[in-house]
Structure 1
Amino acid sequence: MIHKFQRVGVFIDIQNLYHSAKHLYGARVNYRELIKELVVDRQLIRAIGYAVKSETVFGEAAFFDALTKTGIELRIKDLQIFPGGLKKADWDVGMAVDAIRMASFLDTVILVTGDGDFLPLVEYLKWGLGREVEVAAFGRSASAKLKEAADFFVDLEKIPKVILKK
């Protein structure tokens, strides 16, 4: 149940959201509208975005600046390239640790990701810490188990202001 004194933390898997919007719609995400639509009339304690930096992506610095200007605290990790060309960069553990650390200051944790790897986090926040957990993602690409485990699932496809057509 949403009420104006409800303390909310928003944790955004930038890579997951960016690539889902790009591949499903050929579009971008309006992060300002995203935060506004998710928080509604509640009290936003913190919004953190988790991103991976690649030296080869044109316009990436401007994208990160734009995210910061929307009020999102950005955590950036460099893309790791291993011998043989394998590339690795994910924030799953960092995002999970931050959500658990902040949970005592929040009534509701909003995870903006469709990645099923976050299922144990959702379960721990709900059953271990007694927090309400909302998951926001594009319904077509989100893990069915993650959607099911959340107290509430927000299908971003149903919020037109969040999707910016190119």
Structure 2
Amino acid sequence: MLKVGVFVDAENIKFNGGYQLRYDILRRFAARDGGTLLRLNTYLAFDQERAKNDSEYAKKSYIYQQMVRDFGWKIIVKQVKRYVDDEGTVTTKANADLDLAVDAMLQVENLDLILLVTGDGDFLQVVTALQNRGCRVELLGFNNVSKQLQRQADAFYRGYLIPDLLPFSYEPRNEWGKPGSCVRGVCTKWFQDKGYGFLRFIREISPNLWITDPRENDSPYESVFCHINELADDVTPELLLNRETVVEFYLKESDVDDGLIATNVRLVYDPS
């Protein structure tokens, strides 16, 4: 049985597109192949000095930490430290890189797969060392993910594309993948001369994410028709031709066949 560990660099994710990440969905994603979750670690920052003077901040931090614990995660709290330079400028820091790296290295002998949730290129050597110890390392991130880290990892997943991992604040009751719902995906084909193309999204969390052809019976992906009139001004056909571009769109049942069409297509992630 696959033994899985998940290590979340929460501060990096928070400031790079993953604010409001859902830890319950992340847990399901990590165990999608029937693996046993042995380690669920997330490294959070807490500003003790601010908490003394801001009761609302302290309350929200406690509630958030408790919610994450309720999903079965171990929280490693890093205290925010303040530094004053020669000009009197105050900077804050709560870096958990070393703690995360040490914990992962100590646990690697007990794990078959590590899901590293970060975009920080400083973990490049850590990933290499974990792989050299016989562990598969997968990477999940949103924005500003190190290209070198992506290439070194055994697999990279853009967090925006995982169903329900990042909620839509304007669609609180969103039923991902159903007609009328909002989803995120990428463009797989675009015909410039005809003014239309096809978008693809992940229908459900599945162990078969490697089966990217929606025509395969076991594929968790679905293809959606998209007309150029549905693109927002900043979503150009040229941008769509880059497979790293992520868009969000609403699903609508087609009037001409049993398929789906995309409406109100907006840009989420621009790789340029």
Matched position secondary structure for 2:39: strand
Paired with 1:38 and 1:20, the residues of 2 have a C-alpha distance of: 20
Residue identity matched to 2:104 = A
The answer for unaligned runs of 5 or more in structure 2 is 52-56, 170-272
Aligned residues: 156
The answer for unaligned runs of 5 or more in structure 1 is none
Residue identity matched to 1:102 = Q
Greater CA deviation, 147-156 or 13-22?
13-22
**Counterpart of 2:77?**
76
How far is 1:63 from its partner?
1.2
Matched position secondary structure for 1:147: helix
**What per-residue deviation string (whole Å, max 9, x for no partner) do you get for residues 122-164 of structure 1?**
011112x1211111111x4211111110011121111131002
Which structure's residues are more often helix, by fraction? Answer: 1
The residue correspondences of 1:1-166 to structure 2 (distance < 5 A) are: 5-21=1-17, 28-40=20-32, 41-55=34-48, 56=50, 58=57, 59-83=60-84, 84=88, 85-127=90-132, 129-138=133-142, 140-166=143-169
What value does the CA root-mean-square deviation take over the aligned residues? 1.5
How far is 1:53 from its partner?
0.3
Paired with 2:131 and 2:123, the residues of 1 have a C-alpha distance of: 12
Residue identity matched to 1:49 = T
Residue identity matched to 2:47 = S
Bigger Rg, structure 1 or 2:
2
Greater CA deviation, 56-65 or 73-82?
56-65
Paired with 2:62 and 2:144, the residues of 1 have a C-alpha distance of: 27
State whether residues 114 and 143 of structure 1, in contact with CA within 8 Å, keep that contact through their aligned partners in structure 2: yes
**What per-residue deviation string (whole Å, max 9, x for no partner) do you get for residues 89-110 of structure 1?**
1100000000000001001111
Paired with 1:50 and 1:14, the residues of 2 have a C-alpha distance of: 6
Matched position secondary structure for 1:49: strand
State whether residues 51 and 77 of structure 1, in contact with CA within 8 Å, keep that contact through their aligned partners in structure 2: yes
How far is 1:46 from its partner?
1.1
Residue identity matched to 1:35 = R
Runs of 4+ in 1 over 3 A off after TM superposition: none
Paired with 2:14 and 2:69, the residues of 1 have a C-alpha distance of: 15
Matched position secondary structure for 2:44: strand
State whether residues 28 and 165 of structure 1, in contact with CA within 8 Å, keep that contact through their aligned partners in structure 2: no
Paired with 1:49 and 1:110, the residues of 2 have a C-alpha distance of: 12
Identical counterparts, % of pairs: 29
How far is 1:113 from its partner?
0.6
TM-score norm. by structure 2 comes to: 0.55
More contact order relative to length (CA 8 Å, sep ≥ 6): 1
Paired with 1:51 and 1:31, the residues of 2 have a C-alpha distance of: 13
How far is 1:114 from its partner?
0.9
TM-score norm. by structure 1 comes to: 0.88
